[in-house]
Amino acid sequence: MIQHAPFIVIEGLEGAGKTTALSYIKAWLEAQKIEYIQTREPGGTPMAEQLRDLVKAIRENETVTPEAELLIMYASRIQLIENVIKPAQQKGIWVVGDRHDLSSRAYQGGGRGIADELIEPIRQAVLKGFEPDLTFYLDIPPEIGLSRARARGELDRIELEQMDFFSKTRAKYLEIANADDKIKIIDAQQTPTEVGQQIQNLLSEHFQHL
């Protein structure tokens, strides 16, 4: 039995369909008459949004090191957790997150190649065991996802990475998701309706005590 208001997260590569998937989660919550808020990472607080701008901006004269990128992500994340997510949960308000810690493990760990031996101590020190109750990972081949992302318009610094970066990121996502029962892998090559129906069915199954 969950003792706090749940935290549900959507994860995936660029172009995986996170925005559409989030709409299905919110529709399910509204059908159950559950109060919720939506967050995004990096971002979600005034300071975290400034950190988002720092990490996403394209710089011509300075290279952002993988380690700096990782630390910015965790600084932004803990601001959001302590100032938005936990206070909402304590009030009985569910939280729906557009990305969370799994993104750092996949993008900075897999894509950037930062060793788990560096990431894990940072995770433990910052998060202290805090984690989502349920995560949906929308899996899609990077070439398909990136073609969708390009069709949306201008890409940010991370979205402009080479295909190999996204292939490594996807591999890390799958490695972690396959080892964690709280992470559900969704085939994002299905139609949006099929993705949404699968997500809603899994929500009903996971939170059947409602």
CATH of the domain at 150: 3.40.50.300
Rounded to whole angstroms, the Cα distance separating 174 from 137 reads 9
**Would residue 2 count as lying in a domain?**
no
Rounded to whole angstroms, the Cα distance separating 140 from 144 reads 7
In this prediction, residue 71 carries a pLDDT of 97
Give the residue-averaged pLDDT of 116-127.
98
* Whole-Å CA distances, 111 to 31, 46, 89, 132, 178: 38, 27, 32, 22, 18
User: Is pLDDT of 135 > 50?
Assistant: yes
In this prediction, residue 127 carries a pLDDT of 98
User: Is pLDDT of 64 > 80?
Assistant: yes
Q: Provide the domain limits for residue 31.
A: 7-206
Reported as a single tens digit per residue, the pLDDT across 142-195 is 999 888 877 777 666 677 778 899 999 999 999 999 999 999 999 999 999 999
- Residue 33 Ramachandran class (φ > 0 left, ψ -120 to 50 alpha, else beta): left
In this prediction, residue 184 carries a pLDDT of 98
In this prediction, residue 1 carries a pLDDT of 42
**Would residue 11 count as lying in a domain?**
yes
Count how many domains the chain has. Answer: 1
User: Is pLDDT of 58 > 80?
Assistant: no
Rounded to whole angstroms, the Cα distance separating 16 from 144 reads 8
Indicate yes or no: pTM above 0.85.
yes
**Would residue 190 count as lying in a domain?**
yes
**Would residue 1 count as lying in a domain?**
no
In this prediction, residue 156 carries a pLDDT of 67
